[in-house]
Amino acid sequence: MRLHIPPSSITCFCSRVSSTLLGGFGRSWIIPSLFSEESPCAAGLAASLIRDSLVSFSKVVNGGDDGVVAGNRDRDSSSDSVVAVQRRENHINRENSDREREDSETVASTTSYGVGNGNVVATGITATSMAYLPQNIVLSELRHDAFEACTPSGPAESGLVSKWRPKDRMKTGCVALVLCLNISVDPPDVIKISPCARMECWIDPFSMAPQKALETIGKTLSFQYERWQPKAKYKIQLDPTVEEVKKLCTTCRKYAKSERVLFHYNGHGVPKPTANGEIWFFNRSYTQYIPLPISDLDSWLKTPSIYVFDCSAAGMIVNAFIELQDWTPSSSSSSGTSPRDCILLAACEAHETLPQSHEFPADVFTSCLTTPIKIALRWFCTRSLLHESLDNSLIDRIPGRQTDRKTLLGELNWIFTAVTDTIAWNVLPHDLFQRLFRQDLLVASLFRNFLLAERIMRSANCSPVSYPMLPPTHQHHMWDAWDMAAEICLSQLPTLLEDPNAEFQPSPFFTEQLTAFEVWLDHGSEHKKPPEQLPIVLQVLLSQCHRFRALVLLGRFLDMGPWAVDLALSVGIFPYVLKLLQTTTPELRQILVFIWTKILALDKSCQVDLVKDGGHTYFIRFLDSVEAYPEQRAMAAFVLTVIVDGHRKGQEACIEANLVNVCLKHLQGGSSPNDTQTEPLFLQWLCLCLGKLWEDFTEAQIIGLQANAPTVFSLLLSEPQPEVRASAVFALGTLLDVGFDSSRDGGDDERDDDEKVGAEISIVKSLLNVVSDGSPLVRAELAVALSRFAFGHNRHLKSIAAAYWKPQSNAVLSSLPSFTIRGSVSGYNTPNQYSQIGPLSRVGGGDNQSNSRDGRVSSGSPLATSGIMHGSPLSDDSSQHSDPGLLNDMITNGVTNHTTNTKPRQLDNALYSQCVSAMCTLAKDPSPRIASLGKRVLSIIGIEQVPTKSVKASGSVRSGEQSSSTANSLAGLARSSSWFDMNGGHLPLTFRTPPVSPPRPSYLTGIGMRRVCSLEFRPHLMDSGLADPLLGSPGVSGASERSFLPQSTIYNWSCSHFSKPLLTATDGSEEIMVRREEREKFALDHITKCQHSSGSNLHNPIARWDTKFETGAKTALLQPFSPIVVAADEGECIRIWNYEEATLVNSFSNHECPDKGISKLCLVNELDESLLLVASSDGNVRIWKDYTLRGKQKLVTAFSSIHGHRPGVRSVGAVVDWQQQSGFMFASGEISSTMVWDLDKEQLVSSIPLASDCSISALAASQVHGGQFAAGFVDGCVRLFDIRTPDGLVCVTRPHTRRVERVVGGIERVVGIGFQPGLDPAKIVSASQAGDIQFLDIRNQSDAYLTIDAHRGSLTALAIHRHAPLIASGSAKQLIKVFNLEGEQLGTIRYSPTFMAQKIGSVSCLAFHPYQILLAAGAADACVSIYADDISPPR
């Protein structure tokens, strides 16, 4: 999947994204525009916003500036291009994979036919590179990253990431205003200058009678505070006594209850506070100043509280309060209350006096806190060039309201709020910002205004103080932005006042700040300083004119990762985007869905808020809208999935909003013709959404069953994308009743029950069809679904499993694969001999039996165990010493009784047999994670897997004395709830009878199965006196046992897709492409050299490696771009060696299963990060990444490539080859067809009949013609296949027969086969065990045009160079011969004996380097030698 951006798509709000980044599907996919066609202006704006950020990326991809579309077009045309490009590209994407294959094949075939003998120099470098260097990459999706190692987590549960939420929202409920002015009497410690600051609350106290002035000032102050908190209760005390203050405080606390109380103290008419922290009031006759300690005030007001002290030396009070706080925590902590929530704002430091300059009001601190715009503009005008044209009277007449952002006053207030919020956000620690600026509206306003007070009062050498203390902010550069915005606004003021009809021009402040934010987005990252404009973006969401652009930029920011989402949430974005869901503006819908996707990918707890505000309906409407693109609707489906995930209120709300039918409608292929149902991400999330909606919610399950959901989902099980298939399996699994839903009543009528049973049968049959799916993701979900079924039908499945102990008289049961199932009666292993009769042979009733995907299990499956399948002594009936009939009667009775009294009802026995068989298949899965899941499922029905050893039995075992060591020495016999364990239990006599003779030895080489009385996971119930260990009834509700069921991982895993960046390419994409280009250049240079090379000197040994393999090197390959050789032995131990440095790079075992045998090693994606494909002889394929890093190899995927082999065959003998060009892997062996697997889809795409009774012994895929492969058979036939032809077969020839008729049979077997070098698809080389090498041209089917008698009756290996005209053959007689394509022998490589004169083994494998003249040869003596064409010092 090369990253590719067509120039036309740069204008979209999208970039084509490598699916390795996104974990998306197919080759790549587009994030569509986050705006709608209805808004051309918005579209043009977004296109221009995004254009610059994509310039650099497009240069990388397109190699220059050509990729950038000019952004100066008019907005309408820009919008049209966006819509057109998207429609076209969405269509292109759907056919992407097929088109890529066809293109490569077309180029290859048009340049290839008619070429001569293969010594070809390509006429066009493009054609050669297309044919020889495939552009596709497989197995590089998100799901291949670490499937085995870990399970990605989904959105965090509430509380994990909810740190951004204010811990507890608070309100200031009561405000106490205390003014000690004593107008006309100055306090004794103050000497005033003249002229002096006199204004209090913008009123001159000497302009009226003192008492009237005092009352007017009090009322004005109350009015100024009400602007910030209108709902609070306001109480005023003018020149009070201490008793009045006490009464005021106690009244306020009583009224406010647990809410915050504000205490405002103006002490301009009393002395400064004392060093002990006392503030002054009056006596009743106003003849004395009475001190009040801050501790008393604190004890009356209690907490939470906020104090404002506007007086000289106010810092004294703060210092005293801090000391008080230091003394009192011990008492508060002992009473168990939380730390005291007290906030203080003071006008100046302890040693400072308030400014007296007449340019300020006397209460400048109070003015800053309560009328910030007025004082800020007055202060600014005296320092600006405007002071000549503006006086204070004009500023007092600014038109508009502070709450109306379209007026001059409203705009100034809005800008001021944004500036102060931004300064606080950038300067304060985040938890302090949350507490002071997001918890309480009044506190937030006061602190924003406090920042202004610090700026203005510091200019008068006065420093306001706060507790908690804030860092200095008076020189923050955002104040410059405020000054500029104020100047621009004020410059319009005279005109607006002269002409009432003049239109106010808004300030460019917000536009410029958004541009600054956009610049940060282009260059910023997680590791750089966060964007300081984030609070401004939040403010801009309030404005309709800026809202769309702000949302688009916010979306880009959130896309940068979870850290960005957390940052945006902590700045307070959540209530804004929640409120926006109530808007109906169409162009906002797509970007809002995107933003909510990002938020919920981080924090699941938002589901509660969405349901509470009815936000789910917004997303259901969007999901159902035809005009939105499927990728965007997938995001809406994701949001809805999170809403219903484990949230009953969310599930109920979505059921009411008809979500089930909406999802099913789109899964079936919606109503509109352009509704692209092939978008896999959309299908995946529709499945997950329904699955989460049905999970443990019976009402929703019934709605789904009534809407025929199982049928809809069964069709999705053959979708090309594994993620879609896995999600469909998950959804089907949630429809299965686990049997312990507490909400259902017991009175369902019979008809409902029949429907439920019918639905369950259809669901289980659908699920059984994916047992052999190629993707571990799908099989893992199948195991989870089957565990739910096993839990609900525990009894019946246990009885079926128990019936396998019986002699094989029952044809229904005799078809189970040969697991050794441990009987809890006699302690013997009594497996059934494998047979292919009975309903188990086919899953799915009347399907065509030759259909390779009918899920049948045969002896070729991973279940089959070689020892027991062919008449081992254990298959004899006599090994059962207890009375099977008695046991069977008990089981049957138990089942009958159980069925009549309790649910679930019994289904068809054949279906149960197929389920047990499927569970056994999963327990022997090549993927360790799925195998462990499969074993957990089996343990639910009482089957446990134990390792068995092939050893002879020694001595007899006395009854009741079976020690663990003895048990281990007996094959398959491990301690379980057998007669020994039950000996002391309260069980019937028949269950305690010990065996009459020792068990026979087992010849089982694999894994045995034993019966355990798991009793629904409660082995300790063995002692509870139950009569029947198999059918003991569950004593407790199933809910407590839920934890024992394997849990689905597809949802959490899928969520991680949305946490990753969706709009930008990975940083590493450029490096990947540079490395790819280097490798392509290297390959093309060396291909040319190879094509001109004679290879006549290919006998110089340059390295020799003793692999230390016990059974010799069975197969080997050379890496194309590093001096690495990979080898494997029969025991599937893989070793990697650096032949230049002569060092072992890595060594690991392919798997831990007992059945060993290697078939083939292949490199997948060899031009990129190559993967190692290891095919075992049983047909299991495992693919590894990082295999050259010692101990760090990771299993990418694993699956069984061969299903259903011929009866009576001992082993599969798999032969496998890989074709990068098409992405196909071909597998065959002792079966009647060749399986064609698409590794990109991880799916069996075709099963081509062999048209022969013989099996394939050698297989080779063409490396230049997609879909072509040649097969050599054990009878000497050679067939060429092409999957593009109707029946797959192109032609048949039998070159290896006539020449060897006189030789004893079996030697005509084809040992090696391959396509000749070059682009000619018609020329094949084939070698038989008899030693003859045949050169075939399939255009002339009659005879081989060239025959070489290379080795008489001893040919063991054949290698054909991919590009050079060279062939090498190996012999059992320790020699290798090299030929050219004309049949001339170029040389012989003899294994020279070592100085110890040891006998050297025969040649077991040969492999050429893909692009160099290098040959690796492995021998039975475990040595691997490497030979080169040019002479270099040997190693």
- pLDDT value at position 189? 82
Q: In the chain, how many H helices and how many E strands? A: 45, 40
The mean per-residue pLDDT over the stretch 91-102 comes to 45
The mean per-residue pLDDT over the stretch 1125-1136 comes to 92
Q: Which comes out higher in pLDDT, residue 826 or 266?
A: 266
8 Å CB contact between 1056 and 23: yes
- pLDDT value at position 1154? 79
Report angle CA 838, 842, 847 to the nearest 5 degrees. Answer: 130
Alpha-carbon distance of 1427 to 1138, in angstroms, equals 14
Quick one: angle between helices 478-491 and 509-523, nearest 10? Answer: 150
Alpha-carbon distance of 13 to 35, in angstroms, equals 8
Q: What are phi and psi of 751, to 5 degrees?
A: -65, -45
- pLDDT value at position 843? 33
Alpha-carbon distance of 1312 to 1295, in angstroms, equals 13
Q: What is the DSSP string of 979-1035?
A: HHHHTTSS--HHHHPPPSSPPPP----SEEEEE---TTT-GGGGGGT-S-SSSPPP-
Confidence band for 1042, pLDDT divided at 50, 70 and 90:
low
* Residue 1025 in this model has a pLDDT that exceeds 50: no
Q: Which of 925, 940, 1011 is nearest to 787 (CA)?
A: 940
1018-1023, long-range: CB < 8 A, 24+ apart: 1019/977, 1022/977, 1022/981, 1022/982, 1022/985, 1023/985, 1023/986
DSSP E strand boundaries for 1018-1118: 1100-1106, 1113-1118
Q: Which comes out higher in pLDDT, residue 393 or 77?
A: 393
8 Å CB contact between 1087 and 1411: yes
Can you give the three-state secondary structure of 1163-1203, one letter per residue? EECCCCCCEEEEEECCCEEEEEECCCCCCCCEEEEEEECCC
- pLDDT value at position 628? 87
The two structure tokens encoding residue 293: 């300690």
The mean per-residue pLDDT over the stretch 292-321 comes to 94
Q: Which comes out higher in pLDDT, residue 702 or 14?
A: 702
8 Å CB contact between 450 and 369: yes
Highest mean pLDDT among 922-926, 1070-1074, 1207-1211: 922-926
The mean per-residue pLDDT over the stretch 751-768 comes to 85
8 Å CB contact between 490 and 389: no
- pLDDT value at position 454? 96
The two structure tokens encoding residue 696: 């443990």
The two structure tokens encoding residue 1345: 């045009």
8 Å CB contact between 11 and 89: no
Q: Which comes out higher in pLDDT, residue 980 or 1266?
A: 1266
Q: What is the DSSP string of 640-698?
A: HHHHHTT-HHHHHHHHHTTHHHHHHHHHT--SSTT--TT-HHHHHHHHHHHHHHHTT-H
- pLDDT value at position 418? 95
pLDDT in tens, 806-851: 544 344 343 444 343 433 333 333 333 333 323 333 333 333 333 3
The two structure tokens encoding residue 681: 């991400």
* Residue 783 in this model has a pLDDT that exceeds 90: yes
* Residue 1315 in this model has a pLDDT that exceeds 90: yes
Q: With the C-alpha atoms ordered 162, 168, 171, 176, is the resulting torsion angle positive or negative?
A: negative
8 Å CB contact between 458 and 352: no
pLDDT in tens, 490-531: 888 888 888 888 888 888 999 999 999 999 999 988 899 999
Q: Which of 903, 910, 897 is nearest to 750 (CA)?
A: 903
3-state secondary structure of 44: helix
- pLDDT value at position 1391? 66
* Residue 1326 in this model has a pLDDT that exceeds 80: yes
Q: Which comes out higher in pLDDT, residue 871 or 1335?
A: 1335
- pLDDT value at position 397? 87
* Residue 687 in this model has a pLDDT that exceeds 70: yes
Confidence band for 1392, pLDDT divided at 50, 70 and 90:
low
Partners of 1385 in the beta sheet? 1379
Confidence band for 1197, pLDDT divided at 50, 70 and 90:
very high
8 Å CB contact between 297 and 245: yes
User: What is the chain's mean pLDDT, rounded?
Assistant: 76
Q: Which of 537, 490, 542 is nearest to 511 (CA)?
A: 537
DSSP assignment letter at 98: H
pLDDT in tens, 861-899: 333 333 333 332 223 333 333 333 333 333 333 333 333
- pLDDT value at position 992? 27
- CB neighbour burial string for 1408-1419, b if at least 16 within 10 angstroms, e if fewer: bbbbbbbbbbbb
- pLDDT value at position 493? 87
Query: Which segments of 2-95 does DSSP mark as H helices, in order?
Result: 19-22, 40-62, 75-94
